[in-house]
């Protein structure tokens, strides 16, 4: 896929248990806006630059329809061409499990195309 590579040691434990409550309280939601994301990262001692870096790591992947349906059909601050593309694969009702690539330009490449589309 291209992009950077690094060796990751196996066997590390972040926790002995998993907690849905902790995850819901400490991880961003797909419904969070930029202000909420910056605030969440700040509370964890992270900077806006960290948010940008983590977001850039999402150049590969897909999102299910239910995570973006409301925005593409109800908000006017989204590029109309992008919204139209997403609306075709995600109608106003049903099709919750339809998938759309996070990066519409090069969805299978680890590159800078995602961040370029954020600013166009």
Annotated binding site: 28, 58-59, 103, 106, 111
- Signed CA dihedral, 115, 119, 97, 24: sign only: positive
How far apart are alpha carbons 112 and 54 in whole angstroms? 13
CA–centroid distance for 26 within its chain:
16
How far apart are alpha carbons 60 and 74 in whole angstroms? 26
Which residues are part of a known binding site for Ca(2+)?
59, 103, 106, 111
Which residues are part of a known binding site for substrate?
28
Contacts 24+ apart (CB under 8 A), 104-107: 106/59, 107/60, 107/62
SS3 assignment, position 64: strand
Which residues are part of a known binding site for heme b?
58
């Amino acid at each position: 896929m291209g992009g950077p590579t690094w060796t990751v040691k196996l066997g590390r434990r972040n926790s002995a248990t998993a907690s849905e409550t902790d995850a819901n309280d400490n991880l961003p939601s797909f419904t969070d806006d930029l202000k909420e994301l910056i605030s969440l990262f700040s509370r964890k001692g992270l900077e806006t630059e960290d948010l940008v870096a983590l977001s850039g790591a999402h150049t590969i992947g897909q999102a299910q329809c239910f995570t973006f349906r409301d925005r593409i059909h109800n908000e006017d601050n989204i590029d109309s061409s992008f919204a139209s593309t997403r609306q075709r694969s995600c109608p106003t009702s049903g099709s919750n499990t339809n998938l759309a690539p996070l990066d519409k330009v090069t969805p299978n490449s680890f590159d800078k195309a995602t961040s370029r589309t954020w600013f166009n």
